[in-house]
Structure 1
Amino acid sequence: MYYVNQEQIERRLNAIPEIASGLRQAVESWDGGLIFGLVQERALHLAIEVVTDVGSYLIDGFIMRDASSYEDIMDITHEEKVMTSEVHTVLLELVRLRKPLVQEYYDWERHTLHPLSSVLPDVLEQFAVNVRDYLKQEL
């Protein structure tokens, strides 16, 4: 029997609507200014943390192979059929932004709308549906 921390997974999935809303508002109101640039930056960072945290909980709970990187977390959960290929492709691109956002933040271009910002809200919402469906199926 697996121990999957569904409570912690659900807490993280429940953050997705606000992250998606923040990204949608930033995209709709984009003016190249600092405020929306910072909103976008933080929302992208939070999205990375949500998907990697949830992925890690699934990997640990279902005793999947160990992940060696953020990209590997996305690959493993995709291989285990947690998410669709379309969601995986976007989330893989997303997690590759972690180093620039967290470690090289001083070089991040805050005055440019990142291409992921417009597609990510729907993908995050689909990711939540995929994870919940996976949990129902496997538990």
Structure 2
Amino acid sequence: MPSLALVTFLVRDYDESVAFFTGPLGFDLVEDTDRGDGTRWVVVRPRGGDAALLLARASDDGQRARVGGQTGGRVAFFLHTDDFARDHARMTAGGVRFLEEPRHEPYGSVAVFEDLYGNRWDLLQPATATP
């Protein structure tokens, strides 16, 4: 069966994006290859995850206009955690801007945050099923 491997994520700058994802978000840098034409193949992935982001530097005015607004202001990405309090505290200390206080919903603990470009994400610890 097919599986989702990469999602293109528009960025202004490779280095600032790598620093954000590998710093406060704690992602791994999987690959950073110079393509020889002024572009790079940059892949970051949440630790222990399967799907990854391909950080693609915007190359024209149309793409630059969409950096930070790839989904029209909706939550676009869902970052799962096995310890909400730990990761919320680490991310907050790292300068991540949360747009709300943590909520505890039937489906889990969640808070919306923005990445360095203004895209919205959920930090989510799914509720565990009880026997």
Structure having the higher helix fraction is 1
Same fold by TM-score greater than 0.5? no
TM-score of the pair, normalised by structure 2: 0.27
Larger RCO (CA within 8 A; separation ≥ 6):
1
